[in-house]
Chain A
Amino acid sequence: MIEIKDLHKSYKMGSNSLHVLKGINFSVKEGELVAIMGSSGSGKSTLLNILGMLDEANSGEYTLDGVPIKDLNETKAAKYRNKFLGFVFQSFNLINYKNAMENVALPLYYQKMGRKERQEKALKYLGQVGLTEWATHLPNELSGGQKQRVAIARAMAAEPKVLLADEPTGALDSTTSFEVMDLIQKINDQGNTILVVTHEDDIAHMCKRIVHLKDGVIVKDEKVKQVRASEYV
């Protein structure tokens, strides 16, 4: 599904440049649940942003579902993001003046799907995260866990190839974190490919594979025995 070869990324900070990613090689198959771990500054968020086409690498190859991702202009990148990727952010990033259902329907709107169809689909995905009753509530009327579940529903609504989660539990307490991870595991069980960036060990171990990043290189890439989050809930 994801194929990365010799990926480099450096940022210019004034006069000196910061080499963040120093040749990353890795691949993800369909249906995998991968955790990318590392301390802050290890380059894990940068990697995720490049995978999410929010940022571009300086060199290296990136292939997503057989499509080479390079020389993107903003219009093309937006189209690919909409078609291939779902995003879950640490700070939820819901749109404040739109209710839960409208938030979920947003990616579908950008696909120019009809209004009615959009709403039906949004309600279906809200149902899958167990928030049907909260469909007409604005984000500020929801708890943190609920917000993240809306965000996950939104990410899934466009039926992306890959779900990218950047510290999805970073702003949540542990009980809620496990609820969210439980949801992510269930989505993975349905065959969806998911990448989770985290620095928490217990969250990482709820995935099926852990990639350790340190100072811009992969130091360890291991398959782990998945801990089901439902055991904790």
Chain B
Amino acid sequence: MDELNYKSYRIEAENICVDYHGKVALYDANLRLKAGQICGLVGMNGAGKTTFFNALTGFVNISKGKIRINGESLRIAQQDQAIAYVPQSEGIDSQFPVSVWDVVMMGRYGSMNILRSPRESDIQAVKDAIQRVDLMELSSTPIGNLSGGQRKRTFLARAIAQRASILLLDEPFAGVDIRTEKLISELFIQFKNEGKTILLSTHDMIHVREFCDLVLLINKTVVAYGETSEVFTPENITSTFGGMSPDVLFGPES
């Protein structure tokens, strides 16, 4: 029974520390997420949001602490294609000569042979994923010719095609059009119902209230973590943003 409880956490990060050549980017950070939970990762630029993602994807090594995904090590999680990462728009070369189809197909590479030659099931998974983000008519378009929102949807489709149980999204709402924003919101609800676990970073406080069950406020370490309604208080936010008034952050309507 204990084993089952232990395994019921999708993401478990315990006291993780990351430093880049002796410069601490993140220390003593903890996070536990279960299936079907959506958690917002909120903090200033340079507070360690991307570092947190990098640690969870294994792109950087943690210097201390422990990460377990579905109760297993990161290596096994990678083999199982358990984690999908949707990058920030600035994080990728938008002029790279690949089409929407090519990018989404990259979501399937982990389960293909060494030559990455797609099977019928891979082609079907890519088709389905592209349909879900409503980009079918643009599937052969180079990503350089897409709008910011369409490009964001392409990377969401890649995550869908990967069939990962955990989605990490870096600023999913930054620089997207209304249509994409609506589509992403609808997808979040579907993902939640499918039991996927979502961790998303955002600058937009309204989105946090709208979508996130849980909030993780960070400033090099965890400032506060818990249910959105309890944690997302002006005091906590002020300390997360280094004393900046929440009025400035929330805008006039809040």
The answer to whether A binds B is no
